[in-house]
Structure 1
Amino acid sequence: MIASRIAPRFLQATRGYASQAGVRAPKILEGLPGKYASSAYVAALSKDAKTLEKVESDLKAVSAALASAEGAKLQSFISNPTLSAAEKTKGLEQLLSTGKSGKPDTITHNLFQVLAENGRLQDTEKVIEGFLELMSAYRGEVEVTVTSATPLEKSIVSRIETALKASQIAQSGNGKTLKIIQKVNPSIQGGLVVDFGGRTVDLSVSSKVNQLNNLLQQGI
């Protein structure tokens, strides 16, 4: 399995912590990027919680860089077939070292080295997304995605958050943290779409328009 081949490389930096070999990811992620993310998570937590948070900080720095104005250049760099795995890993390390997270943890270094050697750097964003998903589960967060047609004002977000915390959505997390993720999708025209725990509550204008159209078509 990929995870069993990746983990030893990560765990080279965690010698002395072998007694914690029973550490597991809090949830199973699908796909190859999920296996890389899970292996990095297990390797970091096998060392200690501080290392886990450091790796999270490193990966968030890379994610922010990819989303920045220079993101396209970085994407071209990591997907450039003329560069060696060592050159790509070194470039990413330099990026991390100049960021707010400081010098990257050895496990972060090993993660990108393995991705580069296996020709999987193009999966960087998916691997980071998977790692952050594991961190959310580690903290016991209940993720709720609120999609609106336009950015919501802070006062409205605060009211939505208060309402959600008092709902059964929050209770499904056994009283733990409710994490609200805001998204903007103009196509819903207005209202809100709330996604949580594999369920969707569609309160959008576009949904109501579609329902009306369906009723009109049935009446013709």
Structure 2
Amino acid sequence: MAGRYATALYELAEESKSVDAVLKDLQRFDELLDSSADLKRLVKSPVFSAEEQLAAISAIFDKAKFTGLAANFIKLAAKNRRLFAVDAMIRAFRAIVAKARGELTAKVTVAEPMNDARLKDIKSALKDVTSQDVEIDVKVDPSIIGGIIVQLGSRMVDASLKTRLSAIQTAMKEVR
């Protein structure tokens, strides 16, 4: 379902020559979603009706001056009771845009938010490995404790502290 919505949005954005603007607006909404537990609850909870979700999203968008195709898309998702899948729709849209531009997308999981310099270093390292531009989809997951997990296509590198500690724990059990 997320793929169908994302494809429809991409076709509309392509037709109106606003793919970059839509991408930027979706990124902005994704950041809003990550920074607000209340908004996340509104989006994910089946307790709220479509009308309540639409009213709340509309109020948030008015206050944040969030307009355009991306805003209308998210409102449509709320109206159709599909707001719970908006994060998957945003990821699918990013993947479609990346594929159309010939870019690769890497999923990067870190324990705490990264600064721009570190993000740039990771992009550069991935470009050296793949010889292509690589977009990065960053997810913050404190449960990995530290380190980084990078998934690029079917390849994955897990250098998280959680995995290392788990490996040490397994090795200690084998010693007994």
Calculate the TM-score normalised by the size of structure 1.
0.58
* Matched-pair contact (CA < 8 Å) for 1:161–1:180: yes
Aligned to 1:80: 48
Partner of 1:166: 128
For residues 142 and 127 of structure 1, the distance between their equivalents in structure 2, rounded to whole angstroms, comes to 18
Q: Which of 124, 129, 148 pairs up with 2:110? A: 148
The residue type paired with residue 49 of structure 2 is P
Is 1:37 the counterpart of 2:1 in the alignment?
no
Cα distance in 2, alignment partners of residues 186 and 215 from structure 1: 24
1:200 aligns with 2:156: yes
How far is 1:181 from its partner? 3.7
2:87 aligned partner, one-letter code: E
Structure 2 SS opposite 1:166: helix
Structure 2 residue corresponding to 1:104, chosen from 48, 64, 68: 68
1:119 is paired with a residue of what secondary structure? coil
Which residue type is aligned with residue 104 of structure 1?
Answer: G
- Matches of 1:211 and 1:54 in 2, distance apart? 44
**Are the structure 2 counterparts of residues 127 and 147 from structure 1 closer, same or farther at C-alpha, using a change threshold of 3 Å?**
closer
Q: Which has the larger radius of gyration?
A: 1
Match of 1:215 in 2: 171
| CA distance in 2: counterparts of 1:76 and 1:219, whole angstroms | 45
Question: What SS class does the counterpart of residue 18 from structure 2 fall into?
Answer: helix
How many angstroms apart in 1 are the aligned matches of 2:112 and 2:31? 22
Matches within 5 A, 1:53-72: 53-69=20-36, 71=39
Question: In 2, distance between residues paired with 1:148 and 1:76?
Answer: 23
* Deviation at residue 131 of structure 1 after TM alignment: 1.9
Quick one: percent identity of the two aligned structures?
25
Between the two proteins, the alignment pairs up a number of residues equal to 175
Secondary structure class of the residue paired with 1:135: helix
Alignment CA distance shift 1:120-1:210 (3 Å): closer
Q: Distance in 1 between matches of 2:46 and 2:26?
A: 15
What letter is aligned with 2:141? N
- Cα distance change of structure 1 residues 141 and 204 upon mapping to structure 2, 3 Å threshold: same
Name the CA shift for 1:71/1:201 in 2 (closer, same or farther; >3 Å).
Answer: same
Cα distance change, pair 97–185 in 1 and its aligned pair in 2 (3 A): closer
The residue number in structure 2 matching 1:8 is none
Name stretches of at least 5 consecutive residues in structure 2 with no aligned partner.
Answer: none
Report the CA distance shift for 1:214/1:93 in structure 2 as closer, same or farther (over 3 A): closer
Distance of aligned partners of 1:121 and 1:100 in 2 relative to their CA distance in 1, 3 Å threshold: same
